[in-house]
Structure 1
């Protein structure tokens, strides 16, 4: 075990000498052993996280696509039922997040998260059998409750494995899958709509069935591929060295190599100052609740998450309302996916520039996304604008959707010195964002106002301005925290040095 720790000290460097290759992908300037370790981790953890978030968003976004593709007419949903369906999902999502992340610090994520995925997959199947709005409300509530474990839980797991120069890219790649899922939900609805009538199911009902079929194998894969956290990991892919003959001919050496990979993970987190799990105490809870971290970071994420028109299918409803020209069901589902294409591109740009060119600064992309939002939503609030510019605004608003990974990466860095605080803050950020989302759409995204959601567009403009202000406040507080810790560290070094000098003086005096 000592050999493994010694090897980790040699392989994992505190400061990596950056080469130009690292601007393409951060592992390219690291030691070969660490690069192999990260390749296996990325292949398993990042792939599963992205696929898991894909199915979560697929199952979350399908209600909007089903609604504009026949569900509204078949179930007689001519009031604000869509708003209530969204709110029921949000209520379940809000209730489950903080308890779920607290449990994740005590239960293996590789057990808890996949179990919840299987649960929401079964509930998605159930949606195809709903025949009244009230039945949809009930099922959507429990879908939200089951899904509440995934995003904050996987963000916590990702933040337990990756370093600062790696974290934003992984968090944003993870988040991009939500945009891909929303796009695919539109394409999927356009495809399965033609299945209407087969098996006695309408086209919109087939969407829920196909979603469930896609989701189930991915959910089951989580039991194998989630690596838990470094100090408790038992992931099978970290137990085999890249040299295939090691375990076959030298089992003892294979065990030692497995231990080395675990030590790599622990050493990397030590260098980031990211603490392992510790017991919950009254002092810890008091520290979490009295720190600025939970309040500033939660406000930042609340403004990001509610700073977009995701609560209503605004582009699709604009197309559905159009009389000249008249758009088909396929076009109504396909054209709004361009917004999410913009989200994918801008999210990846934010991640790469923040980790590399901006040297870990998370604020500039947040400001940029907020400014784009303000321009787009002010224009839509005016409404009487050129048709080409209206389409441009609907599409470009996706640039404000891709900041989640950056906000979460920033939270992991700020809360690095307390594992339990990090878990609770991440869950609080996501939960409080959805607390606002539970009731705000009922006021500003009312279905009866479609497609000219003037109240909603004005509200998003104000929220986006608040996001920018909160970003600057968070950065100022973080800088102050870094300066304070640096000063305390220098003071401690001075005290230790003084103590050593005094000890030497006593020894010399005694010998004299």
Structure 2
């Protein structure tokens, strides 16, 4: 057998082996099977967008959880918060977010994130330090409202930037990694509060819960400076700098052609109409609203642990109340990552199946929480239900990625829709707890758990509806393309070889 024959026989095997290796590389991390030049670009994108997105989101959700952690760690008694003051503080925070979200998100399409986002971070840090000096309920309302203005739109802005830089099959995993910091923040908050209560309570005359906000602000200071030097703009506006070369910017624009060369100018009436009349946007917003409602039941666990002390005095210490709730977030982290990897790889970018799975499982858990004793003899069952109550929250990366997929190529509409995801989440935060999850009803909130189950079902139905709408739209597009091809072919005269010219079709982008 000749060498050439051996080579020919081995080649299919080598191709098969390479394809298998490439598949596994892509399943583990999507840049590992890319050419070296593109792989280097993606690494730079990850080191900036991902790092700053994760750190910024982490510190925001650390602060959100710090208020709850502080409440069960001495703030309630020190500030005499025995009514629904926590609900009112949450409402003030949510209303301020709602007012400021769309202006901030749309402003991002016309400004450089390198300056805009750090400016918001500085204001946020100052207000965080101020929270350590609160002495009455009205201070909480005012400071939380001002904090919300500086915080507003951070996550949606980060996702907007990711949608401009990353391809569809890369997006869900990145959003999920940023999103899990919304779970890691509360975990860290509980551990941090336990440490502050045990180690800093009374130091310099300050309670442990006050030190929590001081530590929070100090962490935020450390992450502001690098953003000023390295935060990228969208590819269409990005200029060569200390991080990205002209060649890498060109690759980035070619990788994501719908977004890579589109510069948002003045907003047009046509765009504004698209914001209001695109049914996909409204369905995505409804999913976000439902998802936020479905995050409420898991917040009952610290109240539940604290309430056991009135039934059996000495059941749980402050440190235990803070620490025993953290596995909820750990479970959310694992499920979030599993969903993102599944969506980007096995499901080839489809988002709706995992939204349906997450909310369906959540509905069963919420119904069980609502229909079983609040303080059973065996605590393990309800304890487990709380730990598993974050399934719907874990699917939130799916509708964020779905929004970027659906509206790619129209920066302003994508920014508007992304901001709206947060707006409607805050609408849910501002309204639903006042009726279904009142502080004075915790930890029972039976009506709230039943209501959350209903919203979980609506979450599933809305995701299915949007999937069907887009499926029908793609079907109509395929029919229109086929009809266009047939019309063009009929209108073309045969060339000398008897074949019809297809130049017009190729120019029209059908082939």
TM over 0.5: yes
1:299 aligns with 2:286: yes
Q: How far, CA to CA, are the matches of 1:264 and 1:45 in structure 2?
A: 17
Structure 2 counterpart of 1:289: 276
- Provide the rounded CA distance (Å) in 2 between the counterparts of 1:280 and 1:272: 16
Structure 2 equivalent of residue 90 of structure 1: 94
Counterpart of 1:13 in structure 2 is: none
Mapping of 1:183-262 within 5 angstroms? 183-193=187-197, 194-234=199-239, 236-239=241-244, 258-262=245-249
Q: CA deviation at 1:336?
A: 0.5
Distance 1:502 1:123, change over 3 A: farther
Asked if residue 163 in structure 1 is aligned to residue 167 in structure 2, the reply is yes
Structure 1 residue 360 and structure 2 residue 349: aligned? yes
2: CA distance, partners of 1:427 / 1:26: 27
Question: Aligned equivalents of 1:279 and 1:492: distance in 2?
Answer: 34
Q: 1:37 aligns with which of 41, 49, 61?
A: 41
Conserved in 1, the CA contact under 8 Å of 2:258 and 2:408?
A: no
1:388 equivalenced with 2:380 (yes/no): yes
What residue in structure 2 maps to residue 252 of structure 1? none
Query: Could you tell me how far 1:383 is from its partner in structure 2?
Result: 3.0
C-alpha change, 1:107 and 1:494, in structure 2 (3 Å) is farther
- Do structure 1's residue 265 and structure 2's residue 252 form an aligned pair? yes
For 2:174 and 2:454, locate their aligned partners in 1 and report how far apart those are by CA, in whole Å: 30
Are residues 1:445 and 2:437 paired? yes
Q: How far did residue 441 of structure 1 move? A: 0.6
Structure-2 residue corresponding to 1:105: 109
For the residue of structure 2 that corresponds to 1:88, the secondary structure is helix
Which residue number in structure 2 is paired with residue 455 of structure 1? 447
- In structure 2, what is the Cα distance between the partners aligned to 1:501 and 1:210? 76
Alignment: residue pair count? 472
The offset of 1:398, in angstroms, is: 2.1
CA shift in 2, pair 1:376/1:494, >3 Å: same
RMSD: 2.3
Distance 1:491 1:225, change over 3 A: farther
Aligned partners of 1:343 and 1:401 also within 8 Å? yes
Q: Residues 212, 185 of structure 1: CA spacing in aligned structure 2 closer, same or farther, 3 A cutoff? A: same
Give the deviation of 1:272 after TM superposition.
7.6
* Residues 1:398 and 2:402 are matched in the alignment: no
Classify 1:114/1:495 alpha carbon distance in 2 versus 1 (closer, same or farther; 3 Å).
farther
Per-residue CA deviation, residues 441-489 of structure 1 (Å, 9 max, x unaligned), is 1111111111111121111101100000001001011112223333444
Q: 1:333 aligns to what?
A: 322
C-alpha separation in 1, matches of 2:492 and 2:52: 51
Measured against aligned partners, the alpha-carbon deviations of 1:254-285 in whole angstroms (never above 9, x if no partner) come to xxxx2211111111111689954343111221
Distance 1:280 1:485, change over 3 A: farther
Q: Distance in 2 between matches of 1:317 and 1:376?
A: 18
In the alignment, is residue 485 of structure 1 matched against residue 490 of structure 2?
no
The alpha-carbon deviation at position 304 of structure 1 amounts to 1.2
- Show the counterpart of 1:321: 307
With structure 1 as the length reference, what TM-score do the two structures score?
0.88
- State whether residues 195 and 203 of structure 1, in contact with CA within 8 Å, keep that contact through their aligned partners in structure 2: yes
1:371 has 2:360 as partner: yes
Q: Aligned partners of 1:322 and 1:329: how far apart in 2?
A: 12
Alignment-derived partner of residue 342 in structure 1: 331
Per the TM alignment, residue 292 of structure 1 is displaced from its structure 2 partner at its CA by: 0.9
Query: What is residue 4 of structure 2 aligned with on the other side?
Result: none
Aligned to 2:423: 431
Q: Rate the CA distance shift 1:502–1:98 in 2: closer, same or farther, 3 A.
A: farther
Distance 1:418 1:489 in 2: 22
Listed as ranges, the gaps of 5+ residues in structure 2 are 1-20, 498-511
Answer yes or no: is the 8 Å Cα contact 1:120–1:147 preserved in 2. yes
* TM-score, L = length of structure 2: 0.88
Q: Which moved further from structure 2: 458-467 or 495-504?
A: 495-504
Matching of residue 58 in structure 1 with residue 82 in structure 2: no
- Counterpart for residue 13 of structure 2: none
Distance (whole Å) between structure 2 residues aligned to residue 333 and residue 497 of structure 1: 70
Q: Could you list the per-position Cα deviations for residues 231-262 of structure 1 after superposition, in whole angstroms to 9, with x for gaps in the alignment? A: 112474543xxxxxxxxxxxxxxxxxx22111
Give me the whole-angstrom Cα distance separating, in 2, the residues matched to 1:314 and 1:221.
37
- 1:9 maps to none
Deviations 1:292-323 (A, max 9, x none): 1221111111111221227x831111011113
